[in-house]
Amino acid sequence: MHNSLIDTTFCVRTFGCQMNKHDSERVCGMLEALGSEQVGEIEDADIVVFMTCCVREAADVRLLGQVASLKNIPLRAGSHVSKRVIAVGGCIGQRDGEKLTKELPHLDVVFGTHNLASLPRLVQEALEEGGHHVEVLDESLDFPTSLPIDREHEWAAWLPITIGCNNFCTYCIVPYVRGREKSRPLEDIANEARGYVLSGAKEITLLGQNVNSYGRDLYGKPRFADVLDAVSASGVERIRFATSHPKDLTDEVIEKFATLPNLMPALHLPVQSGSDRILRAMNRRYDSAHYRELVQKVRAACPDIALSTDIIVGFPGETEEDFLQTYELVREIGYHQVFTFIYSRREGTPAADMPDDTPREVIQERFDRLVDAVQEGAWQANQADAGSIVPVLVEGASKRDARMLSGRSPKNQTVHFPLPDGESVSAWTGKTVDVHVTEAKTWYLAGEVVR
Ligand code: 5AD
Ligand code: SF4
């Protein structure tokens, strides 16, 4: 087939979760395999791909603005395409399909979460024929794991073990745009992990909307604990995973934090609310007592573990009393990190039809109060590491100061330390080095490398 992608340039903009970031790595890999070259700036790109998220309204609005603003940016000098091709994929593409090209007539390609592999063909059709090329499928044909990949960092790999979600939390759009949960065969996961280790990955992050329910749809019903064993056996230095639904976290998985040396002592366990009434309305299928019990078990298995969570403030019908239960839970548990969200109404979800009359200012005030507690808790949690020596996987130069290096501790804390005189950032990136922590702040640790 004639390949119209040769000598073109492309740029990918990614919104949302790690699954989208991983999908973007596949998009880059596929376009590069066909001879297109990746560039950092939209101005230099003949093809612009947006990988989108619709979990909250803010991302929706941002996408529309960004696509609209592209209309006035001229093509780069020397481009051989007649018109820049703009493609929207991911969750908004899946949700809106054809409708997007009505709102944004200069959009050329729309694809969804189930047909990543179609993107190069749709882009070629748009380049050759002009017009709109929309393809959205209801279900994935297969796991998109055989697609080429261009990893963002050599030292890190995202490895999806499930796609989709069966949980239908009442506020959440994900099950509608990512489809039903599908697990990948254990063998495939183990092979991919081994491949990443051979190609230099120091850290593998296992991905799924709920990794704890892995395997229920597979022959022999392998469990998430089996995945952890298999990936651990790859010999990778660090393993992380996200996300973990409290209703399905088993003792067997908790035990792995005590027994697998390369499973990092950090657990993201989204609680969403501390009120049992709200948890029920959210269809979370656990209560606050069960959550507290899990935290106790996790800490018994791994006393120094760093916990993080997600919380929604202002779910329909949330009262001050409900909120205080969330606030108390956050203060009691002492999270290293809490991702706080104001409830965002998503059309088509059950919560969108629930009575919701709490004034915006009341919700904002609760949110601010919670953020204060989160910051205090994070600062307190980090103090445990002041004065200690932590192994840091270096990610590169600090964003704020090119003479500083940044990386992650086992507990996933960001660690900053000075780049030793006369040394280059690239020589340190992807290496694990011991850092003596001299100061523990709210959102990072600061220190000096131990020689
Ligand atoms: N409004 C606000 N936050 C939401 N999340 C998911 N859906 C919504 C929504 N409609 C949050 C949850 C989830 C995280 C990824 O995003 O806390 O854990
Ligand atoms: Fe959404 Fe709940 Fe599924 Fe997470 S578990 S993706 S919050 S429905």
- Sign (positive or negative) of CA dihedral 54, 56, 62, 64: positive
Whole-angstrom Cα distance, residue 221 to residue 279? Answer: 28
Whole-angstrom Cα distance, residue 318 to residue 365? Answer: 13
Q: Is the CB of 163 under 6 A from ligand 2?
A: no
385: left (phi over 0), alpha (psi -120 to 50) or beta: alpha
Measure the CA angle with vertex 346, ends 123 and 14; round to 5°.
Answer: 35
**Which ligand 2 atom minimizes the distance to the CA of 284?**
2
pLDDT at res. 292: 98
Are the C-beta atoms of residues 25 and 63 closer than 8 Å to each other?
A: no
Closest by CA to 389, choosing from 450, 441, 335, is 450
pLDDT at res. 144: 65
Residue 234 Cα to ligand 1 midpoint, Å, equals 33
Measure the CA angle with vertex 151, ends 64 and 393; round to 5°.
Answer: 110
pLDDT at res. 52: 96
9-14 vs 47-52, strand pairing mode: parallel
**Which ligand 2 atom minimizes the distance to the CA of 168?**
8
Q: Which residues line ligand 1 (CB under 6 A)?
A: 55-56, 171-172, 270, 272, 310, 312, 341, 343-344, 346
Q: Is the CB of 379 under 6 A from ligand 2?
A: no
Residue 194 Cα to ligand 1 midpoint, Å, equals 33
pLDDT at res. 212: 98
Q: From residue 165, how far is each of 289, 297, 345 by CA, in Å?
A: 24, 26, 19
| pLDDT < 70 regions, the chain | 1, 141-142, 144-145
pTM of the entire structure?
A: 0.95
Q: Is 11 annotated as a binding residue?
A: no
Average pLDDT, the chain: 95
Q: Is 28 annotated as a binding residue?
A: no
pLDDT at res. 145: 67
- The closest ligand to the CA of 311 turns out to be 1
Q: Is 91 annotated as a binding residue?
A: yes
Q: Which residues neighbour 21 within 8 Å (Cβ) at sequence distance 6 or greater?
A: 14, 51, 152, 158
Whole-angstrom Cα distance, residue 395 to residue 433? Answer: 11
**Which ligand 1 atom minimizes the distance to the CA of 243?**
18
